[in-house]
Structure 1
Amino acid sequence: MLPRRILTVLLAALPLAACNARGPVKVAAMDEDAAWYIGTMPDQPYDVPLVDRSRIDPKYRRQVVAYNGPEKPGTIVVDIDERLLYLVQDNGEAIRYGVGVGKQGFSWKGVATVGRKGVWPDWGPTATMVSLNPDLPRLRKGGLDNPLGARALYLYQGGRDILFRIHGTSEPWSIGEQLSSGCVRMLNEDIVDLYSRVPVGTTVLVKRHGKFRV
């Protein structure tokens, strides 16, 4: 069971769903939320809360799968319809992660690169998010109550931050859902794993199902 102090901080973050602009957020009772967590993984400056993966649809659990797409090894491919992220490997395989994506009309599609990376990053709303929800705080420092979670990959085009991220979340029930303002969210333990595998400059392709050219 996750320590109550950590759980309380996570629950306090729920109204600030990462990259969420008044989208539907599944808020459960404390006992239900506690059931999602089974412990922590050592990290700095905070330990990463670990999710009970038996509560995650098997499709969205991290796994190595066969991959026959045309992308080069090291490429990140996000299928926003399937709610799946692939890190292409050698030998026709990929590491596949379940993700949450933007609600209808908010998902960004295209080709970008990882322009920078953040560990327990600070979070601030975009202008669009503020226009939809003026009460959003303008800055939330990195930590267990931060909407970006334990890690973030910042997407760039032409050297410019396009304000879309691949990041962690304290809302594990949102994996496989379509509710954010466009960012791609992962379990914190999964974004830590992905973060460790990809350098700045990694190509990121975000596409609709079956459409590799966007």
Structure 2
Amino acid sequence: MLNRSQIRSLFLTVSLLLAVPSRASAQLPDTLTIQPYRGIGNLETSIQREFQPVRLEVRLRQRRVYVFQGDRIKKTYPIAIGKPGWETPVGTFKVTQMQRTPAWIHPFTGEVVPPTDPEIPITEAAIVFTTTKGGVIGFHGTPNRESIGTAASHGCVRMYNEHIRELYPLVALGTPVIVKP
């Protein structure tokens, strides 16, 4: 992302190129090639990189989620995954729901536990990417910090609360989620 100083430098460079005095115009060749200003890198590449779509890649064996922008890793976070019998599903999905203060649906009873309940196993945000066994599967924060790096959930991808807060604004509805073994 360009900062104010870089934008100002680019603007001044372009302005100087365009503000050629009229007497000098007779001395200019018929064609001009404008070279990019090297002080801020390749502007076109910087802009393209900034607006490439984001995708999430969960690597279950590594217990990590990778945030890709284009083909570059932008961020990576440790996670907890589904425990035996409640494995996190493998496949290609898309984000279908996003909630900053989610309720929790008990996987055995179907009871909806409100976000204000002190016993809720989900904290912070939820980013849902699929449904299974009558419930939803997604990323969410957890009060059980010690579970990160293990197979402990009912299929969801648990994250540290501070990490789900970082991830939430990077994702939008429709963001691809690829879950690999």
Aligned to 1:97: 77
Distance, in Å, in 1 between the alignment partners of 2:123 and 2:106 is 14
1:183 aligns with 2:153: no
Distance, in Å, in 1 between the alignment partners of 2:73 and 2:178 is 17
- 2:105/2:135 contact within 8 Å kept: no
Distance, in Å, in 2 between the alignment partners of 1:156 and 1:181 is 13
1:77 aligns with 2:60: no
Which of these residues, 66, 71, 75, is aligned with residue 86 of structure 1? 66
- 1:89/1:95 contact within 8 Å kept: no
In the alignment, residue 120 of structure 1 is paired with which amino acid?
T
Which of these residues, 125, 129, 148, is aligned with residue 151 of structure 1? 125
* Larger-Rg structure: 2
Secondary structure at the residue paired with 1:190?
Answer: helix
Secondary structure at the residue paired with 2:136?
Answer: strand
Distance, in Å, in 2 between the alignment partners of 1:144 and 1:176 is 25
Q: Which runs of 5+ in 2 are unaligned?
A: 1-51
1:114 aligns with 2:98: no
Secondary structure at the residue paired with 1:82?
Answer: coil
Q: Which runs of 5+ in 1 are unaligned?
A: 1-71, 131-136, 209-214
Does the C-alpha gap of structure 1 residues 144 and 151 become closer, same or farther in structure 2, counting only changes over 3 Å?
farther
Task: Count how many residue pairs are aligned between Structure 1 and Structure 2.
Answer: 126
Percent identity at matched positions? 30
Distance, in Å, in 1 between the alignment partners of 2:127 and 2:102 is 10
Runs of 4+ in 1 over 3 A off after TM superposition: none
Structure showing the higher helix proportion among its residues: 2
1:12-59 Cα shifts (integer Å, max 9, x gaps) = xxxxxxxxxxxxxxxxxxxxxxxxxxxxxxxxxxxxxxxxxxxxxxxx
Secondary structure at the residue paired with 2:123?
Answer: coil
- 1:143/1:150 contact within 8 Å kept: no
TM-score by length of 2: 0.63
Structural mapping, 1:163-178, within 5 Å: 163-178=136-151
Secondary structure at the residue paired with 2:152?
Answer: strand
Distance, in Å, in 2 between the alignment partners of 1:73 and 1:86 is 14
